[in-house]
Structure 1
Amino acid sequence: MLIELDTIHFVWWIYLWSILSIDFINTINETESNQICHSLANDEVEAQGSNELNILAVGLTRKHLLLITKDFHVYELAKGSLDSSINRLYLNAKPTPMSVKYPTLFESSRFNTIKTQLFNGFFIIDKTTDWLCITTWDKKTDEGGIKYDLINDKVQSGYRFVGDQEEVLISTKESCMFYSLRHSQKNNGLEIAIYKCQGNKIKMTHPFRLICYGDKQKMTIIIKNYNEICKNDAIEWPILNGFVADDRFYLLDKTDVQIFSEDAYKKANKPVSIDKRKYSSFFVCPGSISESFFAKNRSFLIIMMIILFILSFILCCILMIRVENHPIFRRHFGKTMRSVFRFRKRTADLTIDEDISKTEATSNTPTSLLLDHRPKLIFNPFNRIKFLPTTRSLKFDCRPKILSKHHIVSKIKINRTKINKKLYSKRYLKILL
């Protein structure tokens, strides 16, 4: 079977494209951007040789989810990049150096003064704009913090933390509000409080409350009411950063991402479940496939498989049609096909000759044997009615001239040169009766 070369090339290009696509998905290109992403998705947090998370600030703005690393790269992600149904953050944007993304901030003298003494980074949404707030701690420097207007591209004086105990500030989507986490001085358990901005200051509006495990198996947590203590073990996660999105806390510690509902804070003493994720499972870098990729895209993959199957079937049909109509195919196989048709025609002619021989043989057989062939020839009430109309005599209707115009003579092509016309009319008259 011969196929045109361009068709063969087309098929091979399809297979080659499929193989290269699969290989591209499973291969990680170690570019600078991917190195930054994989440094975040590392299960053991190491940034510049220290046991710290390479995240300066992460949280929601009006339009995006922003993540800024400590080496000053900016991920500007769509809000849909965070899939709260499976707790995955897809870092599907290329990180941009802060010097390119926010040159006004990066080149400001105030930022260059404090960028080696940063204490906390978080986002604030107020009534007019979005702010990136970078604070300092008065125990380490006398310099104040900085506020950067993300929408209007302006740098302003920011906040300086004056507390005695180190705290981690957690961004939220609420207007001018964020959480603060610290470890209790009594039992080293984790505590949580709410801060709000008031003019040029940030003040605590709700005191710290203790975070405890809700059961002995440590599968749930409870945030106690004010001045209450834990009935089970107190939580001692080493939280380094975090944010709130889709009514969930995403708290980043040294090894895991701790995820639980915000209802734990809003409803005191209500146990909520904990979902613990490794960084390699929570952060999904471009070119990598998470463990739930196929489960998440099951419907899409099934549709693609069906489409590919249909296209393959159509391609096979087209190839078959082109092969049968190809000049070389007709030249080599046309004679064979014509011989098959001729063979069938000769077989049909032999069958007709055998029927004629049988008809001749009936002239010398008794009437009882001829009646055995009656169903084959005329045992049909419609033919009987057609051959024997009531307005004509039987003798007139059974003449050979009349019979030659109807079903019997048309079905059996009788060779009149071999059959006696008189014998034929007499014998078949008996059959009709």
Structure 2
Amino acid sequence: MINRLSFTFEDEKTQKKAFKAIEKEQQSIGYYALPDQDITPLLKYCDSISDTIDTIAVIGIGGSSLGAKAVYEFLKPLNGLTRKLYFFESTDPINITNLLSHIEFSKTHFLVISKSGTTVETFSIYKYIYSLQSDPTAYTFITDPDSPLETYAKEINSTVLHLPHNVGGRFSVLSTVGLVPLALCGIEIQALLNGAKEVKESFFYDGYLKDTLLKKATFYAKNHTQYNINCIFAYSETLKYFCEWYVQLWGESLGKHQRHSAFHVGLTPIGLIGPEDQHSFLQLIMEGTRDKSVTFIKIEDFHDNITIPDITLPHLEGLDTLNNLPFSKLINMQCDSVLESLEAQDDIPIDTIILPSVDENTIGSLLYYYELLTSLVGELIDVNTYNQPGVEAGKIILKKKLNQKER
């Protein structure tokens, strides 16, 4: 699963210390337990939504939407999803108007997601939609217990679902936040959790992923000043929104003051999609500053066998080498070619993740893999992985501006 990154640094003492810290974190950080949860209550809730509903709309931002969107967009190209899923996650008026043009209110159920219950972006959008659809049965609210949002939802007699204890937004995709909208669209959420559980058990019970993740995290931590940019180069359009989720997870978790110093640290995340970005950003990786590591993600089985036709085009006979080639093989050949070109540079750290197929188990595994990797790197670079004071600072200023507006 990994190549050059594995063998650059090995520090068994550091790795053992990090592993013990992560083991201990399971007692206080809620996301670790999510693969083992009983989803019976969630499925029962989903069954209560009328069959006349053909669209689910999530009103939420950041961790309240990015994870579910990553899974949905990964699986959407496959047949079998029972409902459409839209995400209202921006206060851009053009975006809001455009999304609403795709929705029929009588056939749409809205999930309003806010951990705190007071997210400005979420409730500005909710207020607007509520002015157009005021039926309380059209809404389900997902929030922390006893939040202002729960109080409001109960007052208007809407359904309330809770987030599990101590699960931060960017780690919440395998909780109510992600599982409910995905299950409502026909996605097998138990398979999603099973994939995550395989990674969890491999890591915590001495499977091959324990060594993989510890070595990879150690490399990132020990080289975070030189290789301070981490690029995912995913060779499938289905992973575009996974890359967005990763950017939030990595950036918001690792860009911090260190706990025991005044230093600012972090690894800058960049999400790239092949082959399109190999015609642009690859130039910067190949010949630019040596401050970037690259993780290639490729898919073994695309579940699609379309093939380039056996056609000869006048004056373009040199391209007949493409004839009869499946697109799934071509895109992986492109990935392998770029990977080999970077391997030849010797000073660009690279590794590869191979996904067996496009299904729930696979994306569940990948999500949990990156959550564990994030926690390990956070521990090793000595930051609080689970807070976000830099994000909160902007929220405080915005609320002050809004309060001044009322005067």
TM-score normalised by the chain length of structure 2: 0.21
Asked which structure has the greater RCO (Cα within 8 Å, sep 6+), the reply is: 2
TM-score normalised by the chain length of structure 1: 0.20
Structure with bigger gyration radius: 1
